[in-house]
Amino acid sequence: MRYVRQFAVSLLLWTSVSAIADVSKFTSLAGNPGLHSASAIVLNSSGGIIYGKDVDTVRPIASITKLMTAIVVLDADLDLDEQITIDEADKDQIRMTGSRLHVGATLTRRELLLLALMSSENRAAAALGRTYPGGTGNFVEKMNSKATSLGMNSSHFADPAGLDAANVSTASDLARMLKAAEEYPLITESTTTTEGEVRPFSHRGSLTYINTNRLLKNEAWDIELSKTGYINEAGRCLVMQANIDGEEVSIVLLNSFGKLTPFGDSNRLRKWMLANS
């Protein structure tokens, strides 16, 4: 492990704000947070690097992909109240995962965004891509175009849900995407909603979904945006915007093994930062 400040010039993420004096309280931190994630980056509100580890290694990102899915949908200014019905094409043919959104389930585009972001619902994400003008193929093209426009030059998107291991990025690229996602109120709201109910079937009861980020229920954390991800190739992943001791920070953790490791790494980071502030 090493601090990214040693080679910060090559990793500067936002040159437009880099000229601003770094007033972060989290500078020149002593010691090491001891993270188990293979790649990690932590940025202050001005884009200054607080901590980094293998920030430019290209890795599968699993359902972190869904943040880009939401960005592309919202950029298109589609009708969020339009009713969308799940069909056979939305089933996962890569990993054969199941879903409570059976074929015939109908929800609004807004509700599908909520489920995709909050509880990482794969069929919800697939349906959002399928119903985009031009279909899923065009949608994926737009995902990659958006990545290019954000300067995510080491990233590639292959499907809206993140089930394909060809959805890849780096910790530094994902910090760019996280910063961009923060500008969409529906994304920040959906990713920090702890629990929600939907009624996708007219003659059945409601379905309850919970957020995949357990830190949202931890009173020690003030989280403004978050997304988890997991497939075998990606390991456990977590990205967050959080307020720590009055300062907004961006956190990206990739390729952790063990279901709770990203949450443990997040707590280790927070403890390390607070001890040095």
Please write the tens of the pLDDT for every residue from 216-256: 999 999 999 999 999 999 999 999 999 999 999 999 999 99
pLDDT digits (tens, 9 = 90+) for 195-217: 999 999 988 899 999 999 999 99
State pLDDT tens for residues 162-182: 999 999 999 999 999 999 999
Q: Give the pLDDT confidence score for residue 16 in this predicted structure.
A: 37
Which residues, listed in sequence order, are joined to residue 249 by a DSSP beta bridge? 242
Cα 123 from Cα 221, distance rounded (Å): 30
Q: Say how far apart CA 198 and CA 212 lie, in whole Å.
A: 17
- pLDDT tens string 144-168: 999 999 999 999 999 999 999 999 9
Rounded Cα gap, residues 253 and 64, in angstroms: 11
Q: Averaged over 2-8, what is the pLDDT?
A: 37
For the cut 70, the answer to whether the pLDDT of residue 17 exceeds it is no
Residues designated catalytic: 63, 66, 120
**Element of type H or E holding 149:** helix 135-149
Rounded CA-CA distance 55/58 in Å is 9
pLDDT at 22 over 80: no
Residue range 62-167+180-210 forms a domain whose CATH class is alpha beta
**Residue 230 backbone dihedrals phi, psi, to 5 degrees:** -160, 125
pLDDT-above-70 percentage for the chain: 92
Q: Which residue has the tokens 């409601």?
A: 206
Pair type for strands 106-108 and 49-53: unpaired
Which pLDDT score is estimated for 15? 40
Confidence of residue 23 (pLDDT cuts 50, 70, 90): low
pLDDT at 10: 38
Residue from 250, 201, 263 nearest 41 by CA: 250
What are the Cα distances from residue 164, in Å, to 91, 199, 233? 13, 29, 9
Segment 25-59, tens digit of pLDDT: 888 788 899 999 999 999 998 899 999 999 999 99
Contacts of 138 (CB under 8 A, 6+ apart): 132
pTM summary value? 0.91
d(CA 167, CA 35): 24
pLDDT band at residue 277 under the 50/70/90 scheme: confident
Query: What is the rounded CA–CA span in Å between residue 57 and residue 36?
Result: 15
Ranges of each domain in the chain: 4-59+221-276, 62-167+180-210
pLDDT at 67: 98
User: Integer distance in angstroms from the first to the last C-alpha of the chain?
Assistant: 20
Tokens of 142: 């737009």
Angular region, 28: left φ>0, alpha ψ -120 to 50, beta rest: left
Tell me, what's the pLDDT at 252? 98
Task: Domain 4-59+221-276: give its CATH code.
Answer: 3.30.450
| pLDDT interval class at 24 (50, 70, 90) | confident
Contact 86/136 with Cβ under 8 angstroms?
no
Decide which of 6 and 142 is more confident: 142
